[in-house]
Amino acid sequence: MADRGTTDTYPVRPELLAIAGTGQNGATLLCRMLGELPGFVGVGEIGRLWDTGLIENRDCSCGVPFRGCPFWTGVGDIGFGGWDNVDGYEVSRLREAVRLRRPLRSLPRAPISEIHALSARHLLPFRLAARASSEYRNNLHRYAELMGRLYGAIAQVAGARVVVDSMQFPYHVNVLPQVPGVDLRFVHLVRDSRGVAHSQTKTVQKQGTAGRYRRQRHPLKTALRWDLVNLTIHSLTRAGTPSTLVRYEDVVSAPSEQLRRIARFAGAPLASDDIWFIRGTEVDLPSGHLVAGNRMRMEAGPIKLRVSDGWKTELPPKQRRLVSVLTWPLIRRYAYVGHRTGAWGA
């Protein structure tokens, strides 16, 4: 790993616009759209760079393997003096320790799929861990410092004022306030819990991993996790970091309006012709340089925007009602139930 320093050496102090949410909520799409705005760059699930990029050398969304991508080569050169100075295994193990998976010293130098297989299955209270464990605090500080160098280098290579990060999971969100050299703001991206539950029942092949599929969850588990993740994000953003709530359904039904709202929140209001890539119900997106994310990060050209509401007919009524009951306080808070959608949104 490269000798650690600070981002004070960089001539810019980028704004970090971090998307936080539950997954299956359109974060990759939103990241890509925001990344096309003037002064913005979208990089996808940046916390996975250390394994999917450095270790597995998967394709960047531009279609070139990570180590051959000129954009990411430039980031490595500026941030770390070249990627050869960074041990992807070491940083991946450090990330998993921050994630409260297993102790840093117990994670082997093994294929990253084996490292993930060792993972615990439950979210844990990250802030309590930081208070109780000096080892955790040290790991958190080391990982945050590396991320600060990475964000600073990304902004410099892209010539961007705002870096958009769609690595939305609570442990990553918890790290970000500790990252030096960035001005942090959160976009709390929510999607109707019934839609997330329906998505989690589908069989979806993982990108770049033939024969491996995304883990399916029963709607009961999805509902409980949806509650826990959103409540965790609320607790993390309540500490004072600026944040704004955005609904996935509004992003796909009124994309121009939502992008303008988010840009204002980021302190970068848009001119009338800055959203040239949205035409009616289509968004025309170039490939970009997302290092990780869902499969749509690899799609370029016109993409049809539509609200994914198959849950209304494809999710069995019993499961739909179960998810509605378990997530009722938050779906009411996010205006998914009430006079507009009916008592159960069915």
- Secondary structure letter of residue 58 according to DSSP: P
The pair of three-digit structure tokens given for residue 153, joined into one six-digit string? 């280098």
**Are 202 and 82 within 8 A, CB to CB?**
no
Question: What is the length of the chain?
Answer: 346
Task: State what percent of residues in the chain have pLDDT above 90.
Answer: 61
Whole-number pLDDT of residue 294: 83
Among residues 24, 68, 75, the alpha carbon closest in space to that of 194 is found at 24
Whole-angstrom distance, CA of residue 63 vs CA of residue 342? 44
The pair of three-digit structure tokens given for residue 202, joined into one six-digit string? 């589908």
Whole-angstrom distance, CA of residue 237 vs CA of residue 148? 19
Whole-angstrom distance, CA of residue 87 vs CA of residue 45? 19
The pair of three-digit structure tokens given for residue 157, joined into one six-digit string? 């290579």
124-128 mean pLDDT: 58
Every domain of the chain and the residues it spans: 7-333
Q: Let me know if domain 7-333 sits in CATH 3.90.1150.10.
A: no
Q: How many CB atoms neighbour CB 300 within 10 A?
A: 15
DSSP characters over 179-245 = -TT-EEEEEEEE--HHHHHHHHTS--BPTT-TT-BPPP--HHHHHHHHHHHHHHHHHHHTTS--EEE
Element (H, E) at 154: helix 134-158
**Are 13 and 181 within 8 A, CB to CB?**
yes
Predicted TM-score (pTM) of this structure: 0.85
Among residues 276, 325, 224, the alpha carbon closest in space to that of 36 is found at 276
The pair of three-digit structure tokens given for residue 170, joined into one six-digit string? 């609570």
Whole-angstrom distance, CA of residue 24 vs CA of residue 43? 18
Whole-angstrom distance, CA of residue 172 vs CA of residue 144? 10
The pair of three-digit structure tokens given for residue 33, joined into one six-digit string? 């759209």
**Are 260 and 275 within 8 A, CB to CB?**
yes
Whole-angstrom distance, CA of residue 196 vs CA of residue 213? 17
Task: State what percent of residues in the chain have pLDDT above 70.
Answer: 81
Among the ranges given (60-74, 161-175, 308-322, 327-341), the one the predictor scored with the smallest mean pLDDT: 327-341
Confidence of residue 168 (pLDDT cuts 50, 70, 90): confident
Strand order in the sheet with 183-190: 40-44, 162-165, 15-20, 183-190, 243-247
pLDDT (tens digit, 9 = 90+) per residue, 139-155? 999 999 999 999 999 99
Pairing mode, strands 278-279 and 282-285: antiparallel
192-202 mean pLDDT: 91
Confidence of residue 92 (pLDDT cuts 50, 70, 90): very high
Residue 88 has pLDDT above 50, yes or no: yes
Question: Which one has a higher pLDDT value, 301 or 10?
Answer: 301
pLDDT (tens digit, 9 = 90+) per residue, 230-261? 988 888 777 788 999 999 999 999 999 999 99
21-44 mean pLDDT: 93
